[in-house]
Chains A and B, each alone.
Chain A
Amino acid sequence: MEKKTILIALKEDDEAQLFTNCLSGLNHDLLSVKDGGHALELALVNLPSIFIADIDLPVIGGERLFQILRSNPQTSRIPFLFISNSVKDIKGFRTGIDIFLLRPINKEELVARVRHTLLSKGQASLSKGIEGRLAHISLADIVQFLHMNRKEGELRITFGELTGVVLIKDGEIYNAVVSGVEKEKALFRLLQWDDGRFEFIPRLVQSARKIRSSVGNLLMEGMRQTDELVRDSGQFPSPEMTLEAGMELSALPKGLQPLIYEIMQVVGRHPRVSEIIDRTTYPDYEVYKTLSSLLARGVLLEKKGGGLSTPEEFLTPAQAINIREKILNRFSDQHNVGYARVLVISTSGRLTSFFFEMCAKLPGFSMNQRSAIAQVSSDSPLGETASLRLHGGMDLVFFAVPAVRNMNPLWRSFSANLVGVILLWDNSATGGLEELASVRSAVMGLTDVPVVNICVSGPMSEERKAAARRAVGLGPDEPLFLLRPEETAVLQEIFYSLFAGIIAESPAL
C-alpha cells in the first residue's frame, strides 16, 4: 500500500501521543501539531491523506480549518476526522467522507475509521483510472457511461493549455465550465474537443445544478450544434470581424429572442465577433446563427475596415439595408435567399468584359475567376461572371447572357432570384440592336424587374441618342446611360439607378 500522510492536530499532548501510538501501526507518516496555525501550514505543504482535527484547537479552530482547506482546490478533497467533546453541527460536513468522533475515543474505532478512509481514498485515487484520451473515446461516450452508472464527481478534460470541468451528480450533468464560460455553452464547446486527456474524479458535488436538461437531450443537442457549426462555419461572420449596432437597442421590437437583446448589449462594449461569442451566455452555434441573421437584417453592421468589404463608399449602411430588405421582400422563400441575380445582356462579349472591368473598381465587387477555359470565359463571359457583396452576406450576382434571341432559354432557365437587368450595347452593334430589343421585350414581358440601359459610347448628339433609344425600344421616361472608360461617376449612377428600381415597390416575380 502506498505510504500516506496523516496529520494530527490535537491540543492535548497526551491525546496526541495516544493517537500517534494507535495509528503508527498503519505504517503511514504521522505529523502532529498542537494548534490550528501550524496545522494549516502543514496541510498546505504536505497535503495529508486525512486530517484529524480537534474542534477546539487554539489559534484557528478545527471547524474554521476545515472551511479554509475546503475552499482551497489543492486541499478541498482532504477528508477530516473531527474530535470533539460534544455534538456540533459543522457547516459543509460531507457525510461519507468526513468523520465526527466524540470523546472518549475508542481506539479500535479510530484506527478502523482512519484505515477505511485511507482505503477509500486509495480507491478514489484508483478511480482516476477512468482516464484516457479523447482520441480513443469521445466525451459524449464518457458522459453517457457516467450517466448510465449514476456516477457523482468531476470530469476534468485537458486539451493543450485549456482545462474544462463537467460536474456530474447521480449521473446527471450539473454544470460545465471552460475558458470562463459555463453551463450548456461550455459543455457544447467541450463536446467539440476531439483530442486531449480526461480524468474522472469521484467526489461529492455540492454546487447548485445549473444545467437542467437530461443527459440524452444535452448530448443530442450538443452534437447537432457541433455538426452544424462545422457545416455552416463558412456562412458565419469570422471571429475577427468587428460589428456595430445598426439601430438602438430601444428601437428593437419586444418579444424577440432574449439572445438578440443580449447580443445588442454586448456588441457596444465588445464589437469583435469572438468577444461577442465569449461574452454571451448562449451556446456558440446559436450566437453565430443569430449574429448572421442580425447582420443579414441590418440590425448589426460590419465596422468599416474589418472583415468583409462592403460597398459603403457609394452606399450608406441604411441604403444597403433597404436594398437588401426590398430584395428579400420580392421572394416568398426568404430563408433561402442568399443572393440576388442581375442579368447582364450584352451585344458582345467584349462589352460585357469591359463593363465588369469597370465595375471591379466598386467596393465589394469581385470577378468569378473560376474557369477551366479562362480565355474563352474572359472573351465571351457567360453565366455567373461577377458579384457585388451587398450587405450582411447578400451577394448581387451578375449573370452574363449574349443578346441573341435564341439564347432566351438560357436566361429563362437561370432567372431564379432575379432582381434586375442591365442591357449593354455600343455604337458598333447596329445589327445586334434588333436582337437586343427583342430580348429586352421578352425579359420585360416575363418579369417585372428594373432594367438599366447602358450604351458604351462617348458623347452623343441628341439625334443619335434618340435613334439609339428607338432602336432598343426605350420609352421616353427610361434613362439611357452613356458609359465611357474611366467614367466611374457614371458607373455609380448606373448602380444607383438599378438600386432605385429595386427599392421602388413592385410586385413579386
Chain B
Amino acid sequence: MSVKDITQTDTEKSGLLPGLHDSAFVSEYGRIETIRAARYNTSFSLVLVDMSGAAGAFKLTASAVLETVRSCDVVGMTEDGSLAMVLPETDYFGSLVTIRKLARAVGLAFPNRSMPDVIISQATFPKDGRLYAELLSNAGKNAAAKRDSIWARLELKKKIFWEVIGELASGAFKETENASFDAGTGQVLTEFFMDQINELILKEIARNPHKRGIMYLAARKVASTMPAAKLLNSTAAFTSKVFLVGEADESAWDIKNATPIVIDDPRFREIFFTFYLSEDSAYALVCKENWGGIYSCFHTSDTTLVEGLIAKFQTEYSLQEQLG
C-alpha cells in the first residue's frame, strides 16, 4: 500500500470533495478530541450544518464550508447527511463566530439564486456534553430550536434592525416563551423593571467574572447616575463586555467596566433595550414608552433571536462584529 493510499480518506477515494471525511472518521476524530480536551482541561466545539434544506445544492454548500474552515478543523459527513465540523480549541463564542462566517460564505456561494435553507448549529465541550454523541445530539437539538425560533418563523433575518425592534415592541406576541407585557404605573411590573433586569444581568456577570459574555444596554441617556452605572462602578473587573448605548454626557466616560457607545438617534428616546448573551444565558428585553408611564415590553430567552438582534444592531451602527 502506498503512502498516498494510507493518507487518503474514504471520501477522497470515493470521489467526494477533498477534505470532506466520512462519518466514521469524523466520529472517531470527535471522540479523540473529547479525550484530549478532557485531558488538557480545554474546550472544543462541534458545528453542525443541517443540509436537509439544501437539496441539489450540497456540493456548492459543502465547498463553501470547506473553504471557510481553518486547516485544523475537521469536516465530515454525519449519517443523516449533515456536515459535522470538529473545531479544536474553540469555545462557545468561537463557534458562534464560525457560524457567522459559514453563513456568510454559504450566502456568497449563491449570488444569483436563493440561498439554500441550511441551519448551522453548535455544541461545545464540556458545557453541552462530554461525549461526542452527546455533543452531536445537542447540536441537533440546537438546530431544531433554531428552526422553531421566532427569528426564523418571522423571517427577521431579512429585516433591518429597527424593523425588527418595532415588530417585537408592537406587542404582537402572546407566547409565554417570547412574552409581551406592560410595565409601569399601576401595573404589576413597575417602571423600574428595566433597571431591575439590568441589575440582574450585571449581578449575573459579576458572579461569573471569568466567563465571556456581551451585553448591550440602550438607554435614553448614558450617564454615571443611571442605576446600572452605579452597580458597574462598584463591581470588580470581569471578562464580559458591557456596552452602554445612547446619548451620553461627560460622566459616561467615567463609568467603570463598561464602554459607552454614543449614538445620537431619536429612536433611543422612546425605545430602550438590553441584549445579553453568554455561554449560559441569552436574554433580550425591548421596551417602548407609551403615555402615562406605561411601557410595552417584549422579552425573550431565544438564543437565536438574541444573537440575531446583536448582529443586526452591530450592522446597523457599523459596530465591530463581536460576540463576547
Contacts and interface: CB of A to CB of B under 8 A. Distances in A.
A432 B142 CA distance: 33
Contacts of B190: 376, 380
Contacts, number: 99
A230 to B, nearest CB: 13
Given A373-B227, A409-B178, A384 B200 contact: yes
B127 A372 contact: no
Contacts of A405: 176, 179
A372 B202 CA distance: 12
Interface string B265-289: 0000000000010001111000000
B126 A370 contact: no
Nearest to B43: A333
Most buried by B among A377, A383, A442: A383
Interface string A255-298: 00000000000000000000000000000000000000000000
Interface string A409-450: 110111011000000000000000000001000100000000
Nearest to B279: A416
Nearest to B209: A234
A392 interface: no
A496 B51 CA distance: 50
Interface residues of B, number: 42
Interface in A371-409: 371-373, 376-377, 380, 382-384, 397, 402, 404-409
Contacts of A404: 181, 188
Contacts of B176: 405-406, 408-409, 438, 442
Interface in B173-220: 176-181, 188-190, 192-193, 195-197, 199-201, 203-204, 207, 211
Nearest to A371: B199
B231 A383 contact: no
Nearest to B303: A413
A372 B199 contact: yes
Contacts of B302: 409
A368 B280 CA distance: 21
A332 interface: yes
Interface string A323-349: 000000000110110010000000000
Given A373-B227, A410-B283, A368 B203 contact: yes
Contacts of A332: 126-130, 134
B282 A408 contact: no
Contact of A409 (B207, B227, B230, B301): B301
A383 B179 contact: no
Contacts of A336: 211
Most buried by B among A416, A417, A438, A442: A416
Most buried by B among A370, A371, A413, A438: A413
A456 to B, nearest CB: 19
Contact of B179 (A372, A376, A377, A408): A408
B320 interface: no
Contacts of A335: 41
A416 B211 CA distance: 13
A371 B300 CA distance: 24
B196 A406 contact: no
B234 interface: yes
Contacts of A373: 192, 195-196, 199, 227
A383 B203 contact: yes
Interface residues of A, number: 32
A416 B280 contact: yes
A332 B177 CA distance: 26
Contacts of A417: 280
B146 interface: no
A409 B179 contact: yes
Given A371-B231, A406-B179, A383 B283 contact: no
Contact of A383 (B196, B227, B301): B196
Interface string B34-77: 00000001000000000000000000000000000000000000
B299 interface: yes
Nearest to B195: A373
Nearest to A384: B203
Nearest to B127: A333
Contacts of A339: 207
A406 B174 CA distance: 8
B124 to A, nearest CB: 9
A398 B280 CA distance: 17
A370 B235 CA distance: 10
B188 to A, nearest CB: 7
Nearest to A438: B176
Contacts of B211: 336
Given A372-B195, A382-B197, A409 B231 contact: no
Given A333-B127, A339-B207, A416-B280, A380 B177 contact: no
B139 to A, nearest CB: 15
A332 B201 CA distance: 24
A404 B178 CA distance: 13
A376 B203 CA distance: 16
A402 B188 contact: yes
B177 A412 contact: yes
Contacts of B180: 406
Contacts of A377: 196, 199
Nearest to B206: A370
A75 B49 CA distance: 78
A417 B127 CA distance: 11
A409 B283 contact: yes
B131 to A, nearest CB: 9
A406 B173 CA distance: 10
A408 B174 CA distance: 12
A310 to B, nearest CB: 20
Nearest to B233: A372
A407 B179 contact: yes
Interface in A2-29: none
A376 B178 contact: no
Contact of B192 (A376, A384, A408, A438): A376
Contacts of B230: 372
Contacts of A442: 176
Nearest to B226: A372
Interface string B88-132: 000000000000000000000000000000000000001111100
Contacts of B228: 372
B200 A382 contact: yes
Given A372-B231, A373-B196, A409 B177 contact: yes
B181 A414 contact: no
Contact of A413 (B127, B192, B195, B281): B281
Nearest to A334: B126
Contact of A380 (B134, B196, B207): B196
A413 B301 contact: yes
A417 B41 CA distance: 20
25 contacts: A332-B126, A332-B134, A333-B126, A333-B127, A371-B199, A371-B227, A372-B227, A372-B228, A376-B190, A380-B196, A382-B196, A384-B204, A397-B207, A402-B189, A405-B176, A405-B179, A406-B179, A410-B283, A410-B299, A410-B301, A412-B301, A414-B200, A414-B281, A414-B283, A416-B280
4 A-B pairs with least C-beta separation = A383-B200, A416-B280, A406-B179, A372-B227
Given A406-B181, A408-B179, 9 more contacts: A371-B199, A372-B199, A377-B196, A380-B190, A382-B196, A384-B204, A412-B177, A413-B276, A416-B280
Interface of B: 41, 126-130, 134, 176-181, 188-190, 192-193, 195-197, 199-201, 203-204, 207, 211, 227-228, 230-231, 234, 276, 280-283, 299-302
